[in-house]
Amino acid sequence: MPAKSHSRRPMMVANWKMHKTPAESAAFIARLRELAPGNGGDCVVVVAPAFPCLAAAVEAARGFACAIAGQDLHWAPEGAFTGEVSAAMLAAAGCTHVIVGHSERRQFFGETDETVHKKVRAALAASLTPIVCVGETEAQRNDNEIELILRYQFERAFWGMEAEIFSRCVLAYEPVWAIGTGNTATPEVAEGAHRFLRRCARDIFGPEAAQALTILYGGSIKPSNMRALLDQPDVDGGLVGTASLEPDSFAALIKAANAQ
């Protein structure tokens, strides 16, 4: 197992997508408190419920080291955008993080690299930590375009940013072919992409910012495969869909991250 030669804290993010009511969200967090009291270690734990559940989740997480994230945001501060939520609204609701550019937003809701960039800026302006998702589709992978796509998405998301501002962002490598499919990337494949993304960060923002950047892996993570992924030097944690819906499996993932 390659040793970790850096001081990045591990991070585990639950993306609940369109699952759970406010009461179910609160009950999950209450159970997580019992299973992972005080988190049991260094891992940064983040839960991203649906918008109507944010208040219940924030309340349930009071006094527990579990940050709450939005699953998306609009880039404008306010306006006539029916159904949308601003960064300031998320911050006022008690969120500290927000997921940006998830592939389901890109695939089904018209998210583009340009809107991702605007959302990252808006999140940062409201002092939220953006968790920025990038990743290639299966077709792009088969066409040997992985690095081309990752570099393009990375450059567009953080375009024109100062290194100091960039250092407030978290990156998630989420290969689209691995999300919700059961086809987890092998640790070697994940590490190759993470190493490449860290190189992209170094090329633009310098070695210190690259070294400090937290890069999560996402795509069919389970308690049984997390350990081997986390053993990779450039994999700092997970962005988890399906396996984050049950407190037991999410607690097992936090435990794996704390065992680094």
| Residue ranges binding ligand PEP (CB under 6 A) | 15, 174, 179-180, 218-221, 239-243
- Is the CB of 128 or the CB of 210 nearer to ligand PEP? 128
- Is the CB of 157 or the CB of 210 nearer to ligand PEP? 157
Which of 74, 97, 102, 117 is catalytic? The answer is: 102
What's the residue count for the chain?
Answer: 260
The answer to whether residue 174 is catalytic is: yes
- Is the CB of 71 or the CB of 260 nearer to ligand PEP? 71
All residues at 6 or more sequence positions from 67 whose CB lies less than 8 Å from its CB, including other chains: 44, 45, 46, 47, 61, 95, 96, 97
Closest contact distance (angstroms) between CB of 178 and ligand PEP is 6
Which of 104, 111, 174, 191 is catalytic? The answer is: 174
Rounded alpha-carbon distances, angstroms, from residue 3 to 230, 233, 234: 11, 7, 10
The token pair at 32 is 């997580």
**Residue of minimal Cβ distance to ligand PEP:** 241
Closest contact distance (angstroms) between CB of 118 and ligand PEP is 21
- Is the CB of 161 or the CB of 234 nearer to ligand PEP? 234
- Is the CB of 89 or the CB of 240 nearer to ligand PEP? 240
Closest contact distance (angstroms) between CB of 222 and ligand PEP is 8
Distance CA 122, CA 115 (A): 10
The answer to whether residue 74 is catalytic is: no
Closest contact distance (angstroms) between CB of 104 and ligand PEP is 7
Closest contact distance (angstroms) between CB of 60 and ligand PEP is 22
Q: Which residues are catalytic?
A: 102, 174
